[in-house]
Chains A and B, each alone.
Chain A
């Protein structure tokens, strides 16, 4: 008997008992759906993390003043005061893989406009920071290098600060007060969104010239970080090594001693996030596979039960001339057809589910990204 005839018999038998057929399929639908959805979510999260990393700016390295362990006590990030403006100039001068660099320091304080006030992060930096971070302006422009030289009282505000202080007015040209000093708003940044995983709002920031921050607000003359961009993604690895050895040299760190700074490479981060993402995807997929196996066992089980249940049907078929092989291939084909249809429906469901999860939750679960989401 040819395959078409077997398929015809099997499909008719399935159609005859739609309830049993669909219940049998349910296991496979759920199993396949779960695998597809989980892999989809995992890959979606991975992709989203990669996008966020890319949105950080291209080929970025982040140099932070280091963690230091003193007398057995871990002093935490930014505890050293050895990273200075001259280090940045040296990096620009002596590391060929480096294209641009911006210094930075920061504090948190109240920002006042009229009767409103808002607690925000105040970052001091230089104009190239916006290029390095690939951060466009919603309106206005950056403060200038001249503003930096003159330690001018000018500020660029993030979208969240604008929303909270300038709901009704145009902020450009307005004066805000930081530590009772007046600052003229010259630019508003486009929205960057919440940074991956940490959930901290990158737009809740006021940027002022580094000199202004150091001299007029914090009174500190060291840097907490330097934002560096390499000439290419490939070059970022070289830049990392160049910066490391340069700074060790400049800070007179002897062989065997720990760095008093740290260099984080965005390319490294991306690789790390990729790896973590793959592990998570594998994990999700293997958990989902269990339900696929359960679904398969379900089909097996129901086919077995239905063979005993359907002895009358088998008897009739044999009496009118079906061979044992005919009946076997019928049941086998029924199982295959159920699996195929169930699998196809499962794929559709799974894709739908992963689409929903990734989009409605905006789900990112990967950890390392927050480290480079921006200095606080």
Chain B
């Protein structure tokens, strides 16, 4: 084991587990009157269970479009997307909603919490659509808030929380129904560097616990906390590589000066 290189380990993992996400030649285009915007031009990739993947690429290269397809918020124009072996294109709207509710957690760049709603209620939200009792929903929401270190802020409103705290609430919300995949579209895009590392530390911990994570970022530093990076360019995969000399966010955090707030 010690002599195995990072890439060899990754290959081993990939062979040993069934791919939880398989995307085959996915295209996505938007018809805007006469012009057609080609956002994705044939993406093929496998993402296995437990993976920690960072998607990189210039603005407009199709990262968000791809994430929306992975998150069942949008459907590909052509190509197939298998989620845990199931062809998603054959599912009804309500079945897709159930997948978004239970199998996938989504974190956005803009946090997208409901305003004038406490952190706890925001985190509870997905449980309201999941046939979970009020008590269990609240219980789970508290656990999720504890997990992101905000157990003491449950009654705060988004406007009373810093950006990093809001993003942690959003992560807790994504986790509350215990999904197997976490999708995060530029979760650190609006945060300063230290807070970004803190968020990555949380994601690292979750991944260690077995959660599959796909994250979009255009910061190279951030992508290096993942285990694998994929480079998008003009709707195509340009490069797919494993992260070498991976640093964990918790180590980096120790080396960063603590800011007073």
Chain A interface residues (CB < 8 Å from chain B): 1-2, 5, 8-9, 12, 16-17, 312-313, 315-326
B72 to chain A, nearest CB (A): 10
**Closest beta carbon of chain A to B261's beta carbon, Å:** 28
Q: Which residues of B contact A316 (CB under 8 A)?
A: 112-114, 125
Is the beta-carbon distance between A1 and B134 smaller than 8 angstroms? no
Q: Which residues of B contact A (CB under 8 A)?
A: 71, 73, 93-94, 97-102, 106, 108, 112-117, 121, 125-126, 128-131, 134, 173-174, 177
**Chain A contacts for B177, CB-based, 8 A:** 321
Q: Using Cβ atoms and an 8 Å threshold, which residues of chain B touch A319?
A: 71, 73, 100, 106, 108, 112
Taken together as a complex, chains A and B put the C-alpha atoms of A322 and B121 apart, in Å, by 15
A321 contacts B114, CB within 8 Å? no
In the complex, the chain B residue whose C-beta lies closest to that of A17 is: B116
Closest 6 CB pairs of A and B: A321-B101, A323-B97, A320-B126, A321-B100, A16-B116, A321-B129
Chain B residues, Cβ within 8 Å of A8: 128, 134
B126 / chain A contacts, CB cutoff of 8 Å: 320-321
Which of A312, A322, A323 has the most C-beta atoms of chain B within 10 angstroms of its own C-beta? Answer: A323
Contact assessment for A12 and B121 in the assembled complex, using a CB-CB cutoff below 8 Å? yes
Provide the residues of chain A in CB contact with B128, threshold 8 Å.
1, 5, 8-9
Give Cα A49–Cα B221 distance, bound, in whole angstroms.
88
Residue from the list B108, B115, B130 in contact with A321, Cβ < 8 A: B130
Enumerate chain B residues within 8 angstroms of A322, measured Cβ to Cβ: 97, 101, 129
Asked whether, in the complex, the Cβ of A320 is within 8 Å of the Cβ of B73, the reply is no
Given the known inter-chain contacts A5-B128, A320-B125, please indicate yes or no for A16 contacting B117, CB distance below 8 A: yes
Contact A16 B97 (CB under 8 A): no
14 A-B pairs with CB atoms under 8 Å apart are A2-B131, A5-B129, A16-B115, A16-B116, A315-B112, A316-B114, A317-B125, A319-B106, A320-B174, A321-B98, A321-B177, A323-B94, A324-B93, A325-B94
* A321–B121 CB distance below 8 A: no
* Distance between A36 CB and nearest chain B CB, rounded to angstroms: 33
Is the Cβ of B114 less than 8 Å from the Cβ of A320? no
Distance A88 CA – B131 CA, assembled complex (angstroms): 86
Interchain CB contact under 8 A, A312 and B112: yes
Shortest Cβ distance from A51 into chain B, in angstroms?
54
A315 closest partner in B (C-beta): B112
- Shortest CB–CB separation between residue A198 and chain B, in angstroms? 60
Nearest A residue to B131 by beta-carbon distance? A1
Residues of chain B within 8 A of A312, CB atoms compared = 112
